[in-house]
Amino acid sequence: MINPGLINRRSVTMKYRILIRAFTARRDVMYFQIIAKLLEKKNCDVIISSLRSFDFFIKFWKPHAIIFNTQGDSLSLKKKSPSSKIIFIPGEGAELYENSIASLWNKLGMNHYNSVDLTFLWSKYSLDECKKKIKIFDEKKFCVSGNPKLDIVQFNRPIKKKNKIKTIGISCRFSTINHHEGIPVVRTLLPNREIATNFTFASMFSFHTMMLIIEKLLKTTDLEINIRPHPNEAADTYFNYVIPYFKNYKKRIKINSSICIVDWFKEIDVMLSPTTTSIYEATLLNIPIVSIEKLSPSVIYSAKESDQSKEFIDSLTSPKSVENLVNLLIKNFKIKTSSSTVIMNQLKKLHLWPRKQSACLIIANEISNLLKKNKMKSSFFIPKRILLFIDKIKFKRAMKINPLHWNFNYSETYYKLPKDFDYIINSILKNKKRI
């Protein structure tokens, strides 16, 4: 005879299983970790998976909800797991025109659109565009949360202001010439791939300029260099080629490949950057920014990318030469006010900034509410701890096949949470009580 008390205890401990696909380790994992922690406080169990084991977790863990961030996968996910709630959180939610969320839903078709139970948007601008462009718009399937990446800035420990510039941060964006899996540059130069080709030319010129800048700074100043590879890049390249190139100065060069970009900002005093979205976080943290685009022909190609890119290039502090850049850094220059105005306007329009509440908390609340509307069905599934153990083995195997695997594909054994992670969670929850 079954003990009734045992049945009650089991029912109390039943949790919603939520599977999150972190498409890019160094871009997506940090804010997904925050969302996961908030969901865990709402009777949910969460796995954050890379592409390596995503289908494996779907098959054997039987998640009640699946969170993903590439629209083209919506239909296949619904077919793989019909009983799961399919939830879309964009990796890049500020795209405009033909690359916007609304435009992509239209291109993919209604089958893809109808496969998703809930879509989160970064702005009211994006919501209005969806209302206009999507043929059968269902507002219940949409929620404006704001950009969840900015929670890492808003609720993090304040960065102490420094009186003197000691460390120069260099934000990189060279993925077409330094692919995270080591794919040759030739692929991006094939015919009829104009966007990829433009990126490649821009990366080539910009990388060369970056090397000249580093060389000049190391030889003529005592400043330190802290390089942040793009999430789609292989950080290994910087350890294997960039640092050895400057072998006489290697003690003054550091490579940051953590999952939390704010941890990198805490280590630097100024950011040198091509056109990259890290400019948003730097602006909100009052980190001075210098654009290096105009120091090379890369500016021709970067300006074609988007309206935001062109505004970055036109408004940021842009020295006319490498020598001019070095002089600016030595004199402890201050960021131009106009650049902050331009960037803040972009943040207001496309990222729902400023805002009082955490975007990650809004997302966690909405997902919890969605799941509560449906009765939790019991089904056989393999326990999380066993699946994660198997994933560790799969990660080791993948690393043997390609040592660059770790760059793009998340593993909790390889990427550690920042020391201020609990501070961020507590700040979000305390802020909730004040609202």
pTM: 0.92
Q: What is the pLDDT of residues 146-184, one digit of tens each?
A: 999 999 999 999 988 777 889 999 999 999 999 999 999
Please tell me the predicted confidence (pLDDT) of residue 13. 66
Please tell me the predicted confidence (pLDDT) of residue 35. 98
Whole-angstrom distance between the N-terminal and C-terminal Cα of the chain?
50
Calculate the average pLDDT of the chain: 90
Q: What is the pLDDT of residues 26-38, one digit of tens each?
A: 999 999 999 999 9
Parse the chain into domains and list their residue ranges: 4-151+358-434, 156-350
Residue 272 has what DSSP assignment?
E
Residue type, 23: F
* 4-151+358-434 and 156-350 have identical folds: yes
Listed range (146-155, 232-241, 289-298) with the worst mean pLDDT: 289-298
**pLDDT-derived band of residue 202, with 50, 70 and 90 as boundaries?**
confident
**pLDDT-derived band of residue 97, with 50, 70 and 90 as boundaries?**
confident
Residue 377 has what DSSP assignment?
P
Listed range (216-225, 236-245, 301-310) with the worst mean pLDDT: 301-310
H-run or E-run covering 289: strand 289-291
Listed range (261-275, 367-381, 390-404) with the worst mean pLDDT: 367-381
- For 315, counting Cβ atoms within 10 Å of its Cβ (0-12 exposed, 13-18 middle, 19+ buried), the class is buried
H-run or E-run covering 120: strand 118-121
Please tell me the predicted confidence (pLDDT) of residue 339. 59
Architecture of domain 156-350: 3-Layer(aba) Sandwich (3.40)
Structural class in CATH, domain 4-151+358-434: alpha beta
Helix (H, G, I), strand (E, B) or coil at 271: strand
Please tell me the predicted confidence (pLDDT) of residue 128. 97
Question: Which percentage of the chain shows pLDDT scores above 70?
Answer: 93
Please tell me the predicted confidence (pLDDT) of residue 12. 46
Q: Is the pLDDT of residue 63 over 60?
A: yes
Average pLDDT over residues 177-195: 92
